[in-house]
């Protein structure tokens, strides 16, 4: 693209910025670029998403394959205990997170179209003889439309709540970002 623009520079006027957006998957890159005043003097903005499956040298335009998404961090908080001495005194945050992970990946397909849930990170525990008192899940939902993503996100919230209740632990959810689908 930059090469084509340079070849056409005599036919163009104004300032052209080519920006590679950092952290676009986490929906945080655009916010950081606006905060850094990168786009303050821009009169017209055209966004291009890099993708795979397109032969080298080709540019494909369209907006029909980008999924709406919601990103969240889920923290489960239980009670630590010695696993060999008094495990009954513990409330296992790892088991709650593991249960939620398996249940999230078992959610049924959506009749409205493509829907996805992924747990990309699951961290918990500090030793093999300790009932883990905390666990972190990094989760994303995606849907072919805003409605499908919203439905899957609501199902995910119910799964997380149910897993926490099942193991007698608390949980909190921090919304890390979201992006709406543009029909």
Ordered by start, the domain boundaries in the chain are 1-61, 68-179
For domain 68-179, give the CATH number.
3.30.70.360
Least-confidence region, from 8-12, 94-98, 127-131: 8-12
Does residue 155 sit in helix, strand or coil?
A: helix
**How many H helices and E strands in the chain?**
4, 6
User: Do 96 and 56 touch, CB atoms closer than 8 A?
Assistant: no
Residue 30, pLDDT above cutoff 80? no
Question: Which pTM does this prediction carry?
Answer: 0.76
- Give pLDDT tens digits for 64-98: 667 899 999 999 999 999 999 999 999 999 999 99
pLDDT higher at 29 or 93: 93
Helix ranges, the chain (H): 2-7, 29-35, 93-104, 146-167
The arithmetic mean of pLDDT across residues 3-10, rounded, is 88
The arithmetic mean of pLDDT across residues 157-168, rounded, is 98
Does residue 51 sit in helix, strand or coil?
A: coil
Tokens of 79: 């009670």
């Amino acid at each position: 693209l930059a090469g084509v623009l340079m070849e056409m520079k005599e036919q163009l006027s104004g300032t052209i910025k080519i920006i590679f957006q950092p952290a676009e998957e986490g929906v945080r890159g655009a916010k950081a670029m606006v905060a850094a005043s990168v786009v303050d003097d821009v009169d017209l903005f055209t966004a291009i998403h890099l993708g795979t499956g397109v032969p080298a040298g080709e540019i494909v335009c369209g907006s029909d394959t980008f999924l709406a998404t919601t990103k969240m961090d889920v923290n489960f908080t239980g009670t630590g205990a010695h696993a060999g001495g008094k495990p009954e005194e513990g409330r296992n945050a790892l088991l709650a997170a593991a249960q939620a992970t398996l249940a999230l990946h078992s959610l049924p397909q959506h009749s409205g179209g493509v829907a996805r849930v992924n747990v990309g990170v699951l961290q918990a525990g500090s030793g093999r003889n300790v009932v883990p008192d905390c666990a972190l899940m990094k989760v994303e939902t995606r849907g072919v439309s805003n409605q499908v993503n919203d439905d899957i996100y609501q199902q995910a919230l119910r799964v997380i709540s149910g897993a926490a209740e099942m193991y007698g632990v608390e949980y909190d959810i921090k919304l890390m970002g979201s992006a709406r689908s543009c029909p």
